[in-house]
A and B are shown apart, each in its own frame.
Chain A
């Protein structure tokens, strides 16, 4: 006889087993992305990252911290760059020293607590950099959990934080599956990337997009079919992070590897 406990356990595992792989292998269909776009706004800000072009110089992180007044030496940042190195023994090595504020100037991998791992050049099979930033999700879990209405989605898709209204409870920081939120060291309120809202609404590009010498970062308007970013998202093979969470992230990646979380 199967008891209640086992039944529930098996059902949960079974459902997780069926849904996870299906979601993980689903191909992003352009018409689905557009159908998701709610609202009357003529703009839906989206981001495109080309991981092949990123060289890990970290000039985007530096520019972001300066532009958005994030204390330079505090170990928090709105955007950061991760390094992934896969060696012949099949092992994955990943790090992001200081969020790559100073770039990657050595092949050693930072393990934390002052420890490093040496990687020999001849052992590397794959190695690349992945810039990360807020996904400005269409279904932002961080907004759902805010008890006071201090974080919200603007009709053009960007998720903002109201510093006057935020009570600093930290639910949103826990709620974000991508770990993009943190407490601002000076204001002690929730802080996150907002696509440089003060720049994009003036017709400028975000600081990180403009700072990148290699064109690895681009920002665009998904509701404008002529936008170069929209064209890439609609016609090329792009990936998004943690699709299985149903958050509908709006940062798209070219050359995403399954190792990237």
Chain B
């Protein structure tokens, strides 16, 4: 065959070989077809472990806080707010009190209004939570100036 045909052919074969060699080193050993076959199970297996190692931030353990903040715990447990996990209002607590030493304290009106802005929705439990009209119920004053978030009893108010 003529040289001008063979030369490009060698180049192409050379390139394919290089790609194949690079692939052997670049693609990790654990990459391949796994239990669910080529369609759903073609992946790098160690990635599963990578995800398992992703950092947990929320403790969400009701009893954990009570040891050091017994009063807050006791108060809230005897109130309708007992169902709200502490970390919903104070942020992720993993590492506290070592680091972070203090947790956030969410005092904004917006936070209380997530549940207490009145929405009369007949087919949702939202309608069963006592609601206020944010524009009329003491606007511009933080809710926690008058209501104790850990013991939101209406007794003694007014």
Q: Decide yes or no whether A252 CB sits under 8 A from chain B.
A: no
User: Residues on A close to B: CB < 8 A?
Assistant: 38-41, 51-59, 62-63, 66-68, 85, 102-107, 121, 124-129, 139-140, 143-144, 149-155, 160, 162, 164-165, 194, 197-199, 201-202, 204-205, 207, 210-211, 213-214, 255
Chain B residues with CB below 8 A from A214, complex form: 83, 125
**Is the beta-carbon distance between A152 and B42 smaller than 8 angstroms?**
yes
Chain B residues with CB below 8 A from A202, complex form: 52, 56
State in angstroms the CA–CA spacing of A104 and B134 once bound together.
12
Q: Decide yes or no whether B84 CB sits under 8 A from chain A.
A: yes
Count how many chain B residues have C-beta atoms less than 8 Å from C-beta atoms of the other chain.
Answer: 44
- Our pick among A41, A52, A102, A165 for the contact of B123 (Cβ within 8 Å) is A52
Q: Decide yes or no whether B143 CB sits under 8 A from chain A.
A: no
Given contacts A121-B120, A211-B87, 10 further A-B contacts (CB under 8 A): A55-B115, A55-B125, A62-B88, A124-B121, A152-B41, A162-B50, A165-B47, A202-B56, A210-B58, A213-B83
**Is the beta-carbon distance between B52 and A201 smaller than 8 angstroms?**
yes
**Is the beta-carbon distance between A129 and B92 smaller than 8 angstroms?**
no
State in angstroms the CA–CA spacing of A104 and B42 once bound together.
41
Nearest first, the 3 A-B pairs at minimum CB distance are A103-B114, A152-B43, A127-B121
- Rounded to whole Å, the gap between the CB of B76 and the closest CB of chain A is 11
**Is the beta-carbon distance between B114 and A59 smaller than 8 angstroms?**
yes
User: Which DSSP category, helix, strand, loop or mixed, fits chain A's interface?
Assistant: loop
**Is the beta-carbon distance between A213 and B52 smaller than 8 angstroms?**
no
State in angstroms the CA–CA spacing of A68 and B34 once bound together.
27
Ordered by A's residue number, 14 sampled pairs between the chains whose C-beta atoms are within 8 Å are A52-B123, A57-B114, A59-B88, A102-B114, A105-B113, A124-B120, A127-B121, A144-B39, A152-B42, A155-B41, A165-B43, A197-B51, A210-B60, A211-B88
Query: Given A105-B113, A155-B36, A213-B88: A56 and B119 within 8 A (CB)?
Result: yes
Chain B residues with CB below 8 A from A151, complex form: 43
Q: Decide yes or no whether B57 CB sits under 8 A from chain A.
A: yes
User: Residues on B close to A: CB < 8 A?
Assistant: 31, 34-36, 39-44, 47-48, 50-58, 60, 83-85, 87-88, 91-92, 110, 113-115, 117, 119-126, 129, 134
Chain B residues with CB below 8 A from A139, complex form: 40
Chain A residues with CB below 8 A from B91, complex form: 66
- Our pick among A128, A194, A198, A255 for the contact of B56 (Cβ within 8 Å) is A198
State in angstroms the CA–CA spacing of A92 and B56 once bound together.
39
Closest to A51 in B: B124
- Rounded to whole Å, the gap between the CB of B7 and the closest CB of chain A is 32
- Rounded to whole Å, the gap between the CB of A171 and the closest CB of chain B is 14
Chain B residues with CB below 8 A from A140, complex form: 40
Chain A residues with CB below 8 A from B119, complex form: 56, 104, 107, 127
Chain B residues with CB below 8 A from A199, complex form: 56
**Is the beta-carbon distance between A66 and B57 smaller than 8 angstroms?**
yes
State in angstroms the CA–CA spacing of A107 and B40 once bound together.
43
